[in-house]
Amino acid sequence: MPTFSFQSLNLRAEIGGNSYALNLNGTSILLDAGMHPKEEGPNALPRYQEIPYDSADAIIISHSHLDHIGTLPVAQRDQPSAPVYLTAPCAALGEALLHNSVNVMSSQREELGIPEYPLYHHREIDYLRDRWMIRPYEKPFSLDPLGETGTTVTFYDAGHILGSAGVLIEKDDKEVFYTGDVSFQGHSLIKGARFPDLDGPDLLIMETTRGADERPTDYTRADQEKLLAKSIRNALEAGGSALIPVFAIGKTQEVLTMIDHFKAEGLIPEHTPVFIGGLSTKMTVIYDSFSDSTRRHRPNFEILRDMKVHTGNKRRRAPIDYKPGAIYCLSSGMMSEKTTSNVFARSFIQNPANSLLFVGYADPATPAGAIKRASSGDVIRLDGTHKVQLNCSVEEFDFSGHARREELLEFAVKARPKKLLLVHGDPDAVRWFETKLADALPGTEIIVPQPGAKIHF
């Protein structure tokens, strides 16, 4: 009897540490190998123990954010015969991210007393990198060069970050599509998703990140960009600077491209210096290296070359100096402890002439989350030792890298899958999709996968 099953290896049914196991009639595939950002040590790992040692035929990575690729070396250690399939930009960004994670975990071993850190090492990444198989978009490839398993995979541009992919898997007349993280509209640099026209796939695995977010009906990205430009200009005219906390992969390059547009359109002074720091510089170098080989709104535009961005002191790891009349795009986006944006904020947020501008999500438990909830004059705890009064202006903008819930709903309804799995979403987000899809797709079985439970299709 043929067996087709899906199993979530996530710790909980929520965002974080994404990894899923597929059994396609004897072909075993691991989808993503993430690290949970809210857990520490071995608790940050997916439930890899659910999969027998060296039983996977392949590992497929959708994109290079930490919650999708952060424990790939551990997954490869457990599945030593499985090749890893991913796009070329995903491999380049992922390799840099994993090496950075070793550095972070090595520091946390001493600071937080986590003896299991680092979960993997630099040499191990270099060794395991040889098993990474680069595949382009929209060109089907077989998981078995000899064709014995008959399993075919095709990557489709997901528009989320550089190299992100939706994954179509086909075997024995069964069709599975995994959206990964997707943006149908794209952003200032990267074009939006180019997914296939699905027609009744057996299984659709769909992200639900923004299910609880209700945007105003008159929302437009162009309006948000104009508001961001105005806020930057206001800070400069007040004699201060603008700090924009950004994620190193995706958000940094998106915001820098917007700033370049603002200068070209005269919305902010052309001579305004722009500083980046932390991991963002290395990731922007990688983004630039694919400027002529990926789908972009501005082909051949290279951020570091064409914008003349200041990248700080390359010879020594030193704090970035504050200057009035500048823009600082610093990671991390959530201003986590010891990151460049957090350290810079110690003096920055005390100055009432400055503006702190948030362009992405921040977990409520992070310093960025605390600042978003705070009022002017409140004292903010940036880390274990630094408490700073919030005197600068704080503003938020909506530039999410994830598809709007209405777009995902439309995608699912058009696809008409036999079974639809709602993943990568917190409970309130998933509930919105469950309610809407129950009405829109009465013939589809809609499931919220629980960790460990096998779902047959």
Q: Tell whether the model's pLDDT for residue 314 goes beyond 80.
A: no
Mean of pLDDT values over 198-213: 97
What's the pLDDT tens digit per position in 116-152? 999 999 999 999 999 999 999 999 999 986 666 699 9
pTM for the model stands at: 0.96
What's the pLDDT tens digit per position in 246-264? 999 999 999 999 999 999 9
| pLDDT (0 to 100) of residue 147 | 63
Angle, CA of 401, 408 and 192, to the nearest 5°: 45
Mean of pLDDT values over 353-372: 95
In percent, the amount of the chain with pLDDT more than 90 equals 92
Mean of pLDDT values over 341-352: 96
Structure tokens at 166: 């939706």
Mean of pLDDT values over 44-63: 97
Q: Tell whether the model's pLDDT for residue 312 goes beyond 70.
A: no
Structure tokens at 26: 């004897």
What's the pLDDT tens digit per position in 416-434? 999 999 999 999 999 999 9
* Per-residue CA distances from 179 to 27, 72, 408, 457 (Å): 20, 19, 10, 18
| pLDDT (0 to 100) of residue 316 | 47
What's the pLDDT tens digit per position in 64-105? 999 999 999 999 999 999 999 999 999 999 999 999 999 999
Residues 6+ apart with CB under 8 A from 141: 85, 135, 152, 153, 154
Domains of the chain: 4-213+401-456 (3.60.15.10), 221-396 (3.40.50.10890)
332: cis peptide before it, omega within 30°? Answer: yes
Mean pLDDT of the chain: 95
Structure tokens at 401: 């890298």
10 Å CB burial of residue 136 (0-12, 13-18, 19+) is: exposed
With CA atoms as reference, report the closest residue to 348 among 330, 366, 336: 330
What's the pLDDT tens digit per position in 156-200? 999 999 999 999 999 999 999 999 999 999 999 999 999 999 999
What's the pLDDT tens digit per position in 365-400? 999 999 999 999 999 999 988 999 999 999 999 999
In percent, the amount of the chain with pLDDT more than 70 equals 97
